[in-house]
């Protein structure tokens, strides 16, 4: 609705829609659109960028754009680091309840994944006790009619009479070249996963670190009510060329999971046994925004998850 209605009206920018029988934006459709229109930018989920990046021609076309705005999930760090050298790359964050949280681009292009919210948002970052430097984004609702028209959260009648809205979005601070503080979206306050002995962790934070492995296209971390977390990784098509599934999992574990274990607290360690490779015949289920449907994926891989924990228990028992 934003792309079809708001952008044309407010930004004097026509919206280009793919064919009705097209799912997502595959490279062949993207290349045809770029050949027929003077498109200057794209607003899409990271999954679309990842998909286009695998095709040499569409990758080149992505780099030729003036801007790329992504939303809904984290963009692969390696892809973003390369793209930001060619285009104005930025994340967009918001919700149905509060609308878009508009942000200013960083001076340092390498901070393409960070936010610095405009004053009209009424943003305030409040430190969360008991966390390692995490801050929650709070929206202070404006009363002045001349300014609140720019604050989309004020349009929601559910917030009528409230002075502030707790978004439950957690951020980590980082400093730009000019010394100004910018913010990295880290997790949601209400999406913490609790292990069976009450330790908690943010799945999104771990997923973004695991996704840095060049052979992976998607990662899902879970473990609610379990002794340790589990990871299901969805590999790129070329990932198994010349090596076995176990060799790929060994590479993922040794190069990114081990570093994640060092980063997290000593109580939360991901064992090799609970690292699972998704099957090509069971791809991750996604919604229309290409966001992974966590519960559906966990249902699809219930058997594999149970088998992984049995291996973990057996290995742990044999070492006692």
Average pLDDT (147-157) is 75
Q: Do residue 60 and residue 129 come from a single domain? A: no
DSSP string, 167-205: EEEEEEEEE-TTS-EEEEEEEEGGGEEE-TTS-EEEHHH
pLDDT value of residue 49: 94
User: With b meaning 16 or more CB within 10 Å and e meaning fewer, what string describes 76-102?
Assistant: beebbeebbeebebbbebbeeebbebb
Last residue of a domain, which of 126, 160, 189?
189
Q: Do residue 28 and residue 87 come from a single domain? A: yes
Average pLDDT (168-191) is 90
Is 96 contained in some domain? no
Residue 184: pLDDT band (50, 70, 90) is: very high
Average pLDDT (231-247) is 91
pLDDT value of residue 265: 62
Total number of domains constituting the chain: 3
Last residue of a domain, which of 156, 189, 222?
189
- Give 251: exposed, middle or buried? Use CB within 10 Å, 0-12, 13-18, 19+: middle
Q: Report the SS3 class of residue 235.
A: strand
pLDDT value of residue 176: 97
Residue 148: pLDDT band (50, 70, 90) is: low
Is 123 contained in some domain? yes
Is 108 contained in some domain? no
Residue 279: pLDDT band (50, 70, 90) is: very high
The CA dihedral of 64, 66, 70, 76, to the nearest 10 degrees, is: 40
Q: Do residue 70 and residue 130 come from a single domain? A: no
Q: Do residue 201 and residue 297 come from a single domain? A: yes
- Contact criterion met (CB below 8 Å) for 250 and 292: no
Share of the chain above pLDDT 90, in %: 46
Average pLDDT (144-171) is 80
CATH number at 240 reads: 3.30.300.30
List Cα–Cα distances, 297 to 49, 232, 290, 314, in angstroms: 22, 9, 13, 25
pLDDT value of residue 235: 93
Q: Do residue 46 and residue 157 come from a single domain? A: no
Domain that holds residue 172: 113-189
pLDDT tens digit string along 2-11? 667 777 887 7
Residue 60: pLDDT band (50, 70, 90) is: very high
Top pLDDT among 231 and 78 is at: 231
Top pLDDT among 314 and 320 is at: 314
pLDDT tens digit string along 12-32? 777 777 778 877 789 999 999
Is 227 contained in some domain? yes
Q: Report the SS3 class of residue 79.
A: helix
pTM value? 0.71
């Amino acid at each position: 609705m934003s792309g079809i209605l708001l952008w044309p009206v407010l930004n004097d920018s026509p919206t280009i829609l793919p064919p009705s029988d097209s799912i997502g934006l595959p490279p062949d459709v993207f290349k045809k659109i770029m050949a027929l229109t003077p498109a200057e930018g794209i607003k899409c989920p990271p999954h679309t960028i990842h998909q286009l990046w695998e095709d040499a021609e569409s990758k080149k076309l992505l780099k030729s754009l003036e801007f790329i705005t992504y939303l809904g999930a984290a963009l692969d760090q390696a892809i973003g680091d390369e793209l930001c050298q060619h285009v104005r790359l930025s994340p967009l964050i918001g919700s149905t309840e509060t609308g878009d949280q508009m942000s200013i681009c960083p001076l340092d292009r390498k901070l393409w994944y960070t936010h610095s919210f405009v004053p009209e948002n009424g943003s305030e970052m409040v430190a969360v006790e008991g966390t390692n430097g995490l801050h929650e984004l709070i929206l202070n609702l404006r009363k002045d009619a001349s300014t609140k028209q720019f604050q989309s959260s004020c349009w929601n009648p559910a917030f009528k009479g409230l002075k502030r809205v707790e978004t439950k979005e957690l951020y980590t601070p980082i400093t730009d070249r000019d010394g100004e503080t910018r913010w990295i979206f880290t997790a949601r306050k209400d999406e913490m996963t609790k292990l069976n002995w009450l330790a908690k962790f943010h799945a999104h934070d771990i997923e973004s670190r695991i996704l840095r492995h060049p052979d992976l296209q998607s990662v899902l971390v879970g473990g609610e009510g379990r002794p340790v977390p589990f990871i299901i990784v969805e590999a790129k098509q070329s990932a198994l060329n010349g090596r076995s599934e176990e060799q790929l999992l060994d590479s993922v574990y040794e190069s990114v999971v081990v570093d994640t274990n060092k980063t997290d607290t000593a109580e939360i360690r991901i064992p090799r046994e609970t690292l699972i490779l998704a099957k090509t015949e069971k791809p991750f289920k996604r919604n229309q925004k290409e966001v992974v449907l966590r519960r559906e994926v966990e249902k699809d891989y219930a058997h594999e998850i149970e088998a992984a924990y049995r291996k973990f228990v057996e290995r742990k028992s044999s070492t006692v």
